[in-house]
Amino acid sequence: MGKINYGRYANLTMLTDFYELTMSNGYFENGLKDKIAYFDMFFRKVPDNGGVAIMAGVEQMIEYLENLKFEDEDIEFLKSKKIFSDQFLEYLRNFRFTCDVWAIPEGTPIFPNEPIITVRGPSIEAQFIETMILLIVNHQSLIATKANRLVRAARGRDVMEFGSRRAQGYEGAILGARAAYIGGCVGTACTIADRDYGIPAVGTMAHSWIQMFPAEIEAFRAYARTYPDNCTFLVDTYNVLRSGVPNAIKVFKEEVVPRGCRPRGIRIDSGDIAYLSKGARKMLDEAGFPDCKIVATNSLDEYIIRDVLLQGAEIDAFGVGERLVTSKSDPIFGGVYKLTAVEDEGKIIPKIKLSENVSKITNPGFKQVYRLFDRENGKAIADVVTMADEEIDETKPYEIFAPEHIWKRKTITNFYAKRLPVKVFEQGKCVYNSPDLKTVRDYCKEQINTLWDEILRFENPHSYYVDLSYPLWEIRNKLLKLWDR
């Protein structure tokens, strides 16, 4: 598939917070350039107070890391700031990414406070990439998470992403469509997303098409003659039940069926879609078109979709725009990127960030994430964050406990453990083949089905357990006591 061409911004190396450069210069000047550091990306809260988020953006992170390079014009710009040493600027001129990177694969359900990306490498390199890793993964994980909520609300009905015109910039439209597809949408209105990522582009007509003709029925006839095998009429330009649906039925009979085709559907873009869809379904069925689909659009979200279906709406598919592509109800995925360890003479030294806000205290060290599954029903039991060299023995009972409330314990048996992160870069070279987008989408659906319904509900979802192994908890507790003196 093609990659997005950003014109003058084709090289995104300079898309970074300025303090990444001031810190990097400082590391260089203080002899820390080659000091090995470990950083984790994680998030603290699921958007919309939900129970689960969806990992997305790994493929674009790979593209970014593979193309890190400071151009001559970048060096000249930084030189003009008059705060960076000539030696540091020469280092940037010859910059090459050499870090190891691990990431949880796209489409995986993810939860707060577990590392979803880990970077190990020279301090300048590992520090510098913070901004873009957060930008890429935060955005796509946000939209994939929202899309998955919408798809779950639709209960097996198709959901399409229709938000390009309301996205925050063209990257938001294109990569938003990509993320929405990972989350479970079946298609997009964004044509370039079909060209570049193979996401099916869908769409037929706007109200302007109807208004361009002397009468609604003439607009339908013209469209049917042009696209007899792809007729979905927009029926709410004037009046859905008095005009739109009757005219659609008449044209289906006069122009579509005689050509050996069947109508695809009608679209309702305004009004009480529950009421209107029931009336339209009755009219279509009585006219001999029970196979004609009804599509609903117009400022939909997961709650509206859920409610109209509870009210008996006869809707076969939903097109969701601004409230999906901007995640309007909660437009921030709060991923953070924190130092967790450094190496000193080959030994890993855990680092911790303390805070008066307990939720902002970090988990130290070089870590791994396991997901534990029940062997009998295949459901996910809990995630366990361990030290990187820990192995969970599936043949023995395993005790999990709440990190902040250690008296809450549970011993699990008859389970299997799956390591979630995969190695993406080794010494700066990509060692991971990104799966095609449909495979990612199918994987997401499969993994969501391993979660209990209580975790997936929209209101007051059950908190999925993300626990620490005992060795990791001991290291964390030791550091907390050390800094409490």
Q: What percent of the chain has pLDDT over 90?
A: 93
- Per-residue confidence (pLDDT) for residue 355, from 0 to 100: 81
User: Which tokens is 180 given?
Assistant: 């929405």
Confidence category of residue 412, pLDDT binned at 50, 70, 90: very high
DSSP 202-269: -----HHHHHTSSSHHHHHHHHHHH-TTS-EEE--SS-IIIIIHHHHHHHIIIIIGGGT----EEEE-
How far is Cα 455 from Cα 361, in angstroms, rounded to an integer?
A: 25
Q: Indicate whether 3 pLDDT > 70.
A: no
Residue ranges and CATH numbers for the domains of the chain are: 7-143+331-482 (3.20.140.10), 203-292 (3.20.20.70)
Burial class of residue 47 (count of CB atoms within 10 Å of its CB; 0-12, 13-18, 19+): buried
Residue 418's pLDDT band, with cuts at 50, 70 and 90, is very high
The predicted pLDDT at position 131 comes to 98
Q: Is the pLDDT assigned to residue 358 strictly greater than 90?
A: no
Whether the pLDDT of residue 316 is over 60: the answer is yes
The model's pLDDT over 45-76, given as tens digits with 9 standing for 90+, comes to 999 999 999 999 999 999 999 999 999 999 99
CA dihedral 4, 8, 13, 15 (to 10 degrees): -90
Is residue 9's pLDDT more than 90?
Answer: no
Beta carbons of 403 and 467 less than 8 angstroms apart = yes
Place of tokens 């400082």: 26
Token duo for residue 443 = 């994987």
In the predicted model, what is the mean pLDDT of residues 360-385? 97
The residue among 133, 45, 56, 118 whose CA lies nearest residue 333 is: 45
Q: How far is CA 461 from CA 41, 150, 158, 206, in A?
A: 24, 16, 24, 38
Number of H helices, E strands in the chain: 17, 21
Give the pLDDT of residue 1.
45
Task: Name the average pLDDT for the chain.
Answer: 95
What does the CA dihedral 443, 447, 449, 455 come to, rounded to 10 degrees? -140
| Dist CA 314 CA 276 (whole Å) | 9
Give mean pLDDT, residues 214-243: 98
Q: Give tens-digit pLDDT for 426-461.
A: 999 999 999 999 999 999 999 999 999 999 999 999
